[in-house]
Amino acid sequence: MPLHYEYLPATGTPQQELVLLHGWGCNLEVWRPLLVLLRPWANITVLDIPGVAPGCDATAGPDLADLIANILDSCPAQAVYVGWSLGGLLATELAHQNPERASAVITLCSNPMFVAGPGWPGMDAAVFADFAHGVKEHPGAALKRFDTLQVTGARQPRALLRQLQSLGRGSATGEMLAGLAWLQALDMREILPVLQQPQLHLLAAGDALVSPDVAPCIAALAAEKPVPVEVLPGACHLAPLDIPELLARKIRGFLDATGVLQECQGRAPDWEKAAVAASFSRAASGYDSVAQLQRNVGEHLLSCLDEAPDTAGTVLDLGCGTGYFCAPLRARYPKAQYLGLDLASGMVDYARKRCEPGGEWLVADAESLPLASESIDLVFSSLTVQWCARPEHLLAELSRILRPGGLCVFTSLGPDTLSELRAAWATVDEHQHVNTFLPGADLLAAAERLPGTVLSLQEQIYCMEYTRVRDLLDELKTLGAHNMNRSRPAGLTPRRALQGMLQAYETKRSNGVLPATYEVIFGVLKKL
């Protein structure tokens, strides 16, 4: 089954997929300082490892094969695996067993064989056995003792210990004996010399758990095929928290030098989010007066919830607009906490005033939600997704905030929306006068790259009717949904071009009215 994970798309142009595996006694939060430094160029997957992270049940049991299968199920098809401490052993074993899934392996403060053996430096076997006994009898006290060892050798150990203890880890339990069993059993000394992928091994000079003395031993393993092994000065075992800037430079430099980074040219958004937010903020007071299509689509979307359980504890109205659907959502889920969120501050202000007290309101971007992971049971989002030009960011955020078993129902506009208006403008010039929206295929492709989620789509055509084309144009302006493309023509449209467009649109008149087609995509995203 998929593990608890987060998939964080790059904030800039993605050049590689990274999977970060934490060590014993920590959880995915240990990577937070490093994430902001890696995300400008990398898509990142972080996950909690059962039997290793405090409070994370060992659902994989002591079977290492099951654990690796669960990690692979939660990660991209191919990635660079970065493992810290025990995570380094797991990353190496995973890459060896599944070479097609790993582009490179980087270990941080990780000993290929953690427990000392003949001629191999490591933790004394008797000390390890005593520690494992302590975890079995008094896991909380053992974890505190381990935390002290992790920060030993740091430049500011007390501050680092406070930072470690603020990571939101669960309570230590006997389940963590599974991780200790893997730490004792794994021996990568025969695997490192034959590993197919590029590899980098970083150690810390002040590490009290993995001695830097192991550096020449690691280098000797790969004598016929030298690999970089480096000891980082002034650092302790807890390197991801202690020296994130240095680690980020080392990781990027290694991947760049080995040719693992790949330039991936993403599609540039057709509009600026600030312009979208400003336009809809200005439209808040008049929006509902012309929002018949929006009401029709949203009411149909509400019916998609008929088969969903009524047990949601937290409901997010994503792109809440004027708060029109606040009342029906709160009536359907009376015990749930309602959260209205929109990119446009003007819309949120309007919604807060019109809706009954009891909900919470946020101004935020759907592609970067200021919400805790696994904090939402149900997301309702009607005609907002079309303003998100990076579907991989949107779906990753939805997957992150949904609890396991959570659901997101949404609607979006497809590329055939307002096809009549687009065709009429095309008869007079080559400028882009109508907003262009992503096809459903782009949403499906983004979902396929996102482990642990299932997306299903249906399309439906809505046809609105108008007496005059100007009525349609005025409605779009009142809604705040007028042309916001970067490539829209500058300045006022010449009178002759406008008249030509109006005449071309008149050829679509039937039974005394002019049609305006909207391609509406209905989506259901399930978090497994």
Helices (H), 288-355: 292-303, 326-332, 345-354
Question: Domain range spanning residue 348?
Answer: 273-415+436-463+518-527
Instruction: Average the pLDDT over 387-406 and give the result.
Output: 92
Please tell me what DSSP assigns to residue 510. Answer: B
Task: Determine the pLDDT at residue 101.
Answer: 96
Q: How confident is the model at residue 268 (pLDDT cuts 50, 70, 90)?
A: low
Task: Determine the pLDDT at residue 286.
Answer: 97
In this model, does residue 267 exceed pLDDT 70? no
Task: Determine the pLDDT at residue 60.
Answer: 44
Claim to verify: residue 125 and residue 52 sit in the same structural domain: yes
Helices (H), 222-340: 239-242, 244-257, 273-287, 292-303, 326-332
Task: Determine the pLDDT at residue 430.
Answer: 84
Task: Determine the pLDDT at residue 468.
Answer: 97
Bridge partners of residue 318, in order along the sequence: 341
Claim to verify: residue 298 and residue 362 sit in the same structural domain: yes
Kindly report the average pLDDT of the chain as a whole number.
92
* Residues designated catalytic: 85, 207, 237
Claim to verify: residue 359 and residue 226 sit in the same structural domain: no
In this model, does residue 415 exceed pLDDT 50? yes
Q: How confident is the model at residue 273 (pLDDT cuts 50, 70, 90)?
A: confident
Question: Any idea what the CATH number is for the domain that residue 281 is in?
Answer: 3.40.50.150
In this model, does residue 12 exceed pLDDT 90? no
Q: Is 498 within a domain?
A: no
Claim to verify: residue 235 and residue 281 sit in the same structural domain: no
Q: What is the per-residue pLDDT across 440-449, written as a single tens digit (0 to 9) for each?
A: 999 999 998 8
User: 4-8, 188-192, 230-234, 249-253: which range is least confident on average?
Assistant: 4-8
Q: What is the per-residue pLDDT across 464-500, written as a single tens digit (0 to 9) for each?
A: 999 999 999 999 999 998 777 766 666 667 889 999 9
In this model, does residue 265 exceed pLDDT 70? no
Claim to verify: residue 283 and residue 181 sit in the same structural domain: no
Claim to verify: residue 245 and residue 318 sit in the same structural domain: no
Q: Is 496 within a domain?
A: no
Rounded Cα–Cα distance for residues 200 and 106 (Å): 5
Rounded Cα–Cα distance for residues 39 and 50 (Å): 25
Q: Is 248 within a domain?
A: yes
Claim to verify: residue 315 and residue 187 sit in the same structural domain: no
Task: Tell me, yes or no, if the pTM score tops 0.95.
Answer: no
Claim to verify: residue 297 and residue 184 sit in the same structural domain: no
Q: Which residue has the tokens 């270990």?
A: 107
Claim to verify: residue 253 and residue 281 sit in the same structural domain: no
Per DSSP, the three-state class of 524 is strand
Task: Determine the pLDDT at residue 58.
Answer: 56
Count of the separate structural domains present in the chain: 2
Task: Determine the pLDDT at residue 486.
Answer: 66
Per DSSP, the three-state class of 450 is coil
Cβ-Cβ contacts under 8 Å for 527 (sequence gap 6 or more)? 399, 402, 403, 404, 405, 406, 407, 408, 452, 453
Q: Is 146 within a domain?
A: yes
Instruction: Average the pLDDT over 126-149 and give the result.
Output: 96
Claim to verify: residue 215 and residue 294 sit in the same structural domain: no
Question: Any idea what the CATH number is for the domain that residue 236 is in?
Answer: 3.40.50.1820
Claim to verify: residue 139 and residue 163 sit in the same structural domain: yes
Claim to verify: residue 245 and residue 286 sit in the same structural domain: no
